[in-house]
Amino acid sequence: MEVGAVINLIRTKIWFFVCCCCFTASSHCESLSVIVNPVPVFSDLDASGELSGYTIDLINGVLAEAGFSGNLRPEPFARMLADLAVTPRQLGASVVRTPEREASYHWLTSVTATSNQLFVKKSSYYAQQTVPSLHTLSSVSVVRKDYREQILRQSGVNTIMAVNTWEQAVETLLRDRVDAIFFSAYGLNLVCKSAHLDCSSIVPVYTHSTPVSYLVLPKFDGSEELARTLSEAAIRFKRSEKFARLSKAIIREFNQYGLGASYEDGTLKLGSSIGTNKDEQLWVFGELAGEFAKLNGRSEMIGYNAELVKQIMNEAGVVEPILATPWKRLYKETLRKSNVLAFAVVRTPQREALFHWITPLTANEYRLFGDDEVFYGSLEQLPKETIIAVLKRDFRGDLARSLGLITVEYDTWEDAIAGVMNHRADVVFASQRAIEVTCEQQGGACDHIRPASAIMNAKSWLVMSKTGTSEELVARFVRAADNVKNTRQYQQWAKQWVYDMNGRNQTDYSFKDGVIYLYQVNQKQ
C-alpha cells in the first residue's frame, strides 16, 4: 500500500513537471502520434517494442523544440501511408518527396538523401555492359507500394516483382529469379547485414536518382498552423548543438558500415560513394544544355551528356547526384575545389592546363559570321580593330581575346546577331546551327548573315578539377570512360539517340568514336 502510494506520488510529480515544461516551452501541451517504418540504424525496433535510432532522435528533437511530446509507433510503410490518409493529424517518417505526393503533405523537414540504383549479380550479363536506363533490364524486384515501384512502372520495365520486404527482394536476386533489384546502397548493405545474407556477389550498374525523404504532416482543414509550428521548430533544432552532436554520431556509425555519409543543408546524404574513400567524395556539376542536359519532372538531370556521365560514374564505382549548375559557377567551382567532375567544358589551348580532361562528349564547328563580303582564313588574319560579338563567358570570347581582338559580350545569340545587323559589331563568333535557329526564330530577318571565316572545330569534354584531386581518381575515371565507350550497348544507345534527335528536331548530328558531332561528320573532307 505504501509502495503504491509512493509510485502514484512520483507519477503525479512527473506529470506535473512535464506539463509545466510544455507550458513553459510553448503554448502546446499535447502528444502527437508519429508513424515510423522500422529501418536499422534509423529506427531500430527492439524486442520490447521500443524505437531508437537517428530518425527517432530527430523526430523527438523537433517535437520537443515545438513543445510537443511524441507517441511513436512502428508500421510497415504501405500501412503508414494508409493510416496517414485515414487519420491525418499525425506525422509520418520518412516519406520520399515525389510529384505524386507533393500536394498531400506538408514537408516539414528533410531526413535523408539516398541514391536509387539498379543492382545485379557480378555473374550477370548486365554487370559486363553499360546500362543506360531502368527499362534496359527485363525483370526487377522492389518492395510493394514503395515509391520506387512507381518509378519502375513509369520507366516501362517489363516485369516488376513487387514483394513485401527488402530482404525478400534481395533474395529474389540472389536466387536468380530477377535480373536486378532497385534499391539504395546503404539499404542493401543494412539488409544484407541484418538478415545475414551473403551479398558479395551484388554490384551496382545504374544510378537513377537521389531523392530526399521527409518528416511529413498530411494536409487537412486547419493543418497550416501546426505545419508552420513544426517546420519552424525543425529549423531551430537543426541549428542547435544537440543536432550537431547527433549528426557527428550518425556519420561515425555509418563509417562503421563502410558507407559514405555527409550533411548538406541539414540533410543526411547517404551512399555518396562506393569504392571511394571519404577524401575522394565527388561533387558532380552539369550545365543545362537542351536535349544534352535538362531537368525532368523530378528535378533529375537527364539527356545525352547526363546519362553518359551517370554510366561513367557507375563504371568507376561512384554514386553521386548530378547538380544542375550555371556555367559561371561550374567553371569557378571546378577550378577551386578538389574532386569535382563537371561537364561540358570546351577544350582550348588556353584551358589545357586548368583541368584533367576525362573524355570528349560533343564536337561542333564554329566560324565568324557577318554581313559584308570580307572573308578571313583564320582569326589571326582579322584586323585588330575588328569588333566580335560573343556570348558572355563563352570560350570563343576567351579565344578571341587571347589573340588581342576586341569582343562585345551578349546574353543571347539573338542579341549578338542583332549587334552585327545594327553595326555595333563587325562579326559574330558562333556555330552554323546557332545562326540558323536564331534566324528561323526571327522569321528570316537575318538571312543575309553569311560565313566570314574558315571553319574551326572544338570539342566539349567531361573534366575533373586539378586542385587536390588525386591522379589515381583521375585515372579511374579515364578508364571508366574508355570502358563505357567501348561497349556495344553504349554505341547502340548513342547512335539511336542521334537518330531520334535528327528525326525530332531536323538536326544533322552524327556519332563517331564516342563523340556526338553536331554536324554530319561523314560529309566533311
Q: Scan for cell 569588333, then name that residue.
A: 387
- pLDDT(259) > 80: no
pLDDT above 70 as % of the chain: 90
Q: Kindly give, in sequence order, each residue whose CB lies less than 8 Å from that of residue 248, ignoring residues fewer than 6 positions away.
A: none
Tell me the pLDDT tens digit for each residue of 219-235. Answer: 999 999 999 999 999 99
DSSP states along 316-356: HT---PPEE--HHHHHHHHHHSSSEEEEEEE--GGGTTTEE
Angle between the 241-256 and 54-66 helix axes, to the nearest 10 degrees?
170
Q: Which of 314, 234, 330 is nearest to 275 (CA)?
A: 314
Tell me the pLDDT tens digit for each residue of 415-450. Answer: 888 888 888 999 999 888 788 878 877 776 777 888
pLDDT at site 159: 94
pLDDT at site 434: 81
Phi, psi (deg, nearest 5) at residue 493? -65, -45
Phi, psi (deg, nearest 5) at residue 362? -135, 160
Flag the least confident range among 92-96, 165-169, 202-206: 202-206
DSSP states along 348-362: -GGGTTTEEEEEEEE
Q: Which of 53, 51, 31 is nearest to 42 (CA)?
A: 53
| Whether the Cβ atoms of residue 210 and residue 321 lie closer than 8 Å to each other | yes
C-alpha cell at 495: 547512335
Burial of 523 (0-12, 13-18, 19+ CB in 10 A): exposed
C-alpha cell at 475: 585515372
C-alpha cell at 98: 515525389
DSSP states along 75-119: --HHHHHHHHHHS-SSEEEEEE--TTTGGGEEEEEEEEEE-EEEE
Phi, psi (deg, nearest 5) at residue 242? -60, -40
Tell me the pLDDT tens digit for each residue of 392-405. Answer: 877 888 888 888 89
Average pLDDT, the chain: 84
Please say whether the dihedral angle defined by the alpha carbons of residues 377, 382, 386 and 387, taken in this order, is positive or negative: positive
